[in-house]
Amino acid sequence: MALLEILEYPDPRLRTVAQPVTTVDERIRNIVDDMFETMYDAPGIGLAATQVNVHERIITIDVSEDKSEPLTFINPEITVLDGEEETMQEGCLSVPGFYEDVTRIEHCLVKAIGRDGEPFEMECRGLLAVCIQHEVDHLEGKLMVDYISPLKRNRIKDKLEKKHKQEARRKGKK
C-alpha cells in the first residue's frame, strides 16, 4: 500500500474526465486500497481517483463516525436524484483550507461496481448523498469551487497558488 499525492486546485489535471474501468482486476484493487489509505490519512470522508492523478472512474467513501464502513464505487452512475435541496458547507482535499456552501439534492440512487467486481445499487441520503455527488463531480473534472462566485473562486485560486509557490521554494532549498 502507498500514500498517494493529492492534486490541488488549480491544477489542470483535476479537470480531466475519467475513463470507465473495464475490468476490476489486481491493478484496480491496488488503486482502491491506496486510495483508502490516502483518504483515511488525509483525513477525508471521500476521494475520487482524479484527485490522485488516476483518470479512471473510481471513488472511495467512508462517512461513518469510526471509519469502519469503507465503500468503493467503480463506474458509479447516479440513476435517480430527487428529494429536497440541501445546502452544506463542503470541504475538498483538493481545495485545502476552504469551506464553501454548496446546494445539492439530498437523496439519490447510485449504481456501481464494488471492489469485488460485483454490481450493486445503493440508496443515499444526507452526508453520503452529498459526498457521492461531490466525488462523481470530480470524475467529470468538476470541483466544489465551480458552484461559488467567480470572485470567491479567484481568491481561493490566488491563495492556493501562493501556497504552492512557497512549497516549491521550500522544496528547492532542501
State in angstroms the smallest separation of the CB of 116 from Ni ion: 25
Which residue blocks in the chain are alpha helix, DSSP H?
26-41, 126-139, 150-173
The CB-side HSE value for 33 (13 A sphere, CA atoms) comes to 10
Stretch that binds ligand GNR, among 13-21, 66-74, 88-96, 107-115 (CB under 6 A): 88-96
46 binds ligand GNR (CB under 6 A): yes
* From candidates 4, 14, 52, 92, binder to ligand GNR by CB under 6 A: 92
Identify the CA nearest to 76 among candidates 29, 41, 109: 109
Beta strands across the sheet bearing 100-113: 46-48, 58-61, 71-90, 100-113, 119-125
Stretch that binds ligand GNR, among 11-19, 21-29, 45-53, 162-170 (CB under 6 A): 45-53
156 binds ligand GNR (CB under 6 A): no
Identify the CA nearest to 141 among candidates 44, 57, 33: 57
* From candidates 57, 115, 138, 153, binder to ligand GNR by CB under 6 A: 138
The string of DSSP letters for 90-111 reads E--TTSTT--EEEEEEEEEEEE
> In the complex, which residues of this chain contact Ni ion (CB under 5 A)?
92
**85 an active-site residue?**
no
21 binds ligand GNR (CB under 6 A): no
C-alpha cell at 172: 528547492
Rg over alpha carbons for the chain, rounded to the nearest Å, is 16
Nearer to ligand GNR, 28 or 102 (CB): 102
Considering the candidates 135, 140, 161, 167, report the single residue annotated as catalytic.
Answer: 135
Query: Catalytic residues, which ones?
Result: 135
Q: Which residues bind ligand GNR (CB under 6 A)?
A: 44-48, 51, 90-94, 130-131, 134-135, 138
